[in-house]
């Protein structure tokens, strides 16, 4: 009977110790734990197949915000784009028709990302001055 | 009367045609703000365009669509991370990019660890993990980070000078409140910190670490929305080619 009491007492002490240590450690989220939790979560949060918005990467030039301005109608096919240039933007078209077919296609591709006439004109001039 | 109605119909027809034409002329249907279609920033020497995904049916499908993470450690952060530190949103970030980032008086810090950073970052950001802001104020790592933000390490400062500065700081004179025993933050840059979003504690830790070094709180900004909101809005993300090479530059 006495041995049983001793065993019960030691069991209680052990239990108290476990509870006490758990209470002390629970509120503290050690820096190392935080870092390992971050790493685990980073693996779990994949980049997935989320499409990213179109990015334009080019040699650095002064960044400037783009505001809505004079623009060519959006969503034109290559032929429609050429017709629009011819009918409405004769100045730009004068330079545009000097480009090779492949460069014209490239201008059309550029227009799909940025349809401001000023930008399209700049692209035409850039391609012309690149000597191709 | 009949002629009047015919004229009226013609005007209505022209107006609706004009409206249709007008609705088709804007290149980006999903602009950043009502006045800004897109923005271009320098990201490691390259110009990157920040715009939104134009597909209006697009739904977030990657890990940032996840709703629940264990808390702690991934607990919801307060709107105000520290006294004197302003919390900002995307529109303020765009303005910061146009002004302070452009003229070099500001810097945008991705405070996440490299494993997060390499998955994608906000264009124009520099990766300085929050762990760089938790060391001793004179540790070599800390010195490097503070210098990167425009702080000047002062070295030995006499007791008399410091007493005078403290007096002036209490009076709000001579910018003395921008100086500590070992650092001068008078010309330090304005810094926007961000991490994964409202559930992320990495940028709050970085901000609080920086404040503990004496960095002026009015020069710090907390973008609480972070990558979570950036992605929800379909904004451009750049994936660094080599995270280690870009981090700490």
pLDDT of res. B244: 43
Interface of B with A in 136-195 (CB under 8 A): none
CA–CA distance, B202 with B194 (Å, rounded to integer): 8
CA–CA distance, A18 with B185 (Å, rounded to integer): 48
pLDDT confidence band for B213 (50 / 70 / 90): very high
> Mean pLDDT over all residues of chain A?
69
Query: Where in chain B are the domains?
Result: 29-151+187-246
Which of A116-120, A123-127, B62-66, B180-184 comes out lowest in average pLDDT?
A: A116-120
pLDDT confidence band for B17 (50 / 70 / 90): very low
Query: Where in chain A are the domains?
Result: 2-34, 78-129
Asked if A71's CB is within 8 angstroms of B74's CB, the reply is no
B19-57 per-position pLDDT tens digit: 444 444 446 889 999 889 999 999 988 899 999 999 989
pLDDT of res. A27: 43
Task: Determine contact, residues B110/B203, Cβ cutoff 8 Å.
Answer: no
Q: Which residue has the higher pLDDT, A66 or B127?
A: B127
Task: Determine contact, residues A72/B20, Cβ cutoff 8 Å.
Answer: no
A1-41 per-position pLDDT tens digit: 455 555 555 556 655 544 544 444 444 457 778 888 998 88
CA–CA distance, A77 with A73 (Å, rounded to integer): 11
pLDDT of res. B68: 94
Nearest by CB: A63 against B40, B64, B72: B40
Give B240's contacts in chain A (Cβ within 8 Å).
none
pLDDT confidence band for A126 (50 / 70 / 90): confident
What CATH code is assigned to B29-151+187-246? Answer: 3.40.250.10
Q: Which residue has the higher pLDDT, B143 or B18?
A: B143
Give B72's contacts in chain A (Cβ within 8 Å).
29
Nearest by CB: A39 against B115, B120, B234: B115
The residue-averaged pLDDT of B54-61 equals 89
The residue-averaged pLDDT of B100-126 equals 96
Question: In sequence order, which ranges of A26-116 are alpha helices (DSSP H)?
Answer: 31-44, 78-88, 90-96, 101-113
pLDDT of res. B121: 96
Asked if A54's CB is within 8 angstroms of B236's CB, the reply is yes
The contact set of A with B (CB < 8 A) is: 29, 31, 33-35, 37-39, 41-61, 63-68, 71-75, 113-116
Asked if A56's CB is within 8 angstroms of B48's CB, the reply is yes
Kindly identify which residue of chain A lies nearest to residue B52, measuring between CA atoms: A53
Answer whether 0.95 is exceeded by the pTM. Answer: no
pLDDT of res. B77: 97
Counting one residue from chain A and one from chain B, the pairs whose CB atoms sit within 8 A come to 134
pLDDT confidence band for A91 (50 / 70 / 90): confident
Quote the minimal CA–CA distance from A66 to chain B in Å: 6
DSSP bridge partners of B52: B235
State the Cα angle at A86 between A81 and A88, rounded to 5°: 90
B234 φψ region: left (φ > 0), alpha (ψ -120 to 50), beta (else):
left
B64 in reach of chain A (CB within 8 A): yes
B129 in reach of chain A (CB within 8 A): no
Q: Which residue has the higher pLDDT, B58 or A111?
A: B58
The residue-averaged pLDDT of B172-190 equals 88
pLDDT of res. A46: 61
Which of A4-18, B6-20, B76-90, B222-236 comes out lowest in average pLDDT?
A: B6-20
> Mean pLDDT over all residues of chain B?
86
Which of A5-9, A16-20, B123-127, B129-133 comes out lowest in average pLDDT?
A: A16-20
**Predicted ipTM of the assembly:** 0.71
pLDDT of res. B104: 93
> How many residues appear in chain B?
249
Nearest to B232 by CA among B90, B98, B34: B90
Q: Which residue has the higher pLDDT, B178 or A7?
A: B178
């Amino acid at each position: 009977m006495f041995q049983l009491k001793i065993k019960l007492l030691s069991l209680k002490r052990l239990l108290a110790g476990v509870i006490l240590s758990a209470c002390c450690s629970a509120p503290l989220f050690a820096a190392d734990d935080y870092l390992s939790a971050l790493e685990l979560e980073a693996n779990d949060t994949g980049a997935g197949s989320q499409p990213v918005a179109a990015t334009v990467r080019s040699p650095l030039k002064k960044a400037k915000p783009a505001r809505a301005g004079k623009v060519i109608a959006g969503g034109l096919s290559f032929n429609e784009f050429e017709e629009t240039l011819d009918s409405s933007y004769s100045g730009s078209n004068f330079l545009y028709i000097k480009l090779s077919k492949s460069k014209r296609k490239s201008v059309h591709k550029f227009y799909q990302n940025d349809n401001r006439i000023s930008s399209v004109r700049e692209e035409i001039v850039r391609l012309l001055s690149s000597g191709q | 009367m009949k002629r009047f109605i015919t004229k009226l119909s013609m005007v209505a027809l022209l107006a609706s045609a004009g409206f249709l034409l007008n609705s088709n002329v804007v290149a980006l249907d999903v602009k950043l703000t009502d006045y800004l279609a897109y923005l271009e920033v320098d990201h490691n020497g390259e110009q990157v365009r920040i715009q939104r995904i134009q597909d209006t049916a697009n739904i977030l499908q990657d890990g940032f669509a996840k709703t629940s993470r264990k808390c702690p450690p991934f607990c919801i952060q307060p709107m105000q991370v520290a006294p004197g530190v302003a919390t900002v949103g995307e529109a303020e970030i765009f303005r910061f990019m146009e002004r302070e980032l452009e003229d070099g008086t500001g810097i945008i810090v991705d405070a996440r660890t490299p494993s997060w950073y390499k998955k994608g970052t906000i264009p124009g950001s520099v990766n300085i993990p929050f762990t760089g802001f938790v060391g001793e104020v004179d540790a070599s790592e800390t010195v490097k980070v503070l210098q990167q933000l425009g702080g000047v390490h002062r070295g030995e400062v006499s007791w008399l000078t410091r007493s005078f500065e403290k007096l002036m700081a209490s009076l709000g004179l001579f910018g003395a409140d921008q100086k500590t025993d070992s650092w001068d933050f008078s010309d330090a840059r304005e810094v926007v910190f961000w991490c994964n979003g409202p559930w992320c504690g990495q940028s709050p830790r970085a901000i609080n670490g920086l404040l503990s070094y004496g960095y002026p709180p009015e020069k710090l900004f907390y973008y609480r929305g972070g990558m979570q909101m950036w992605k929800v809005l379909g904004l451009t993300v750049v994936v660094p080619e080599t995270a280690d090479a870009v981090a700490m530059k």
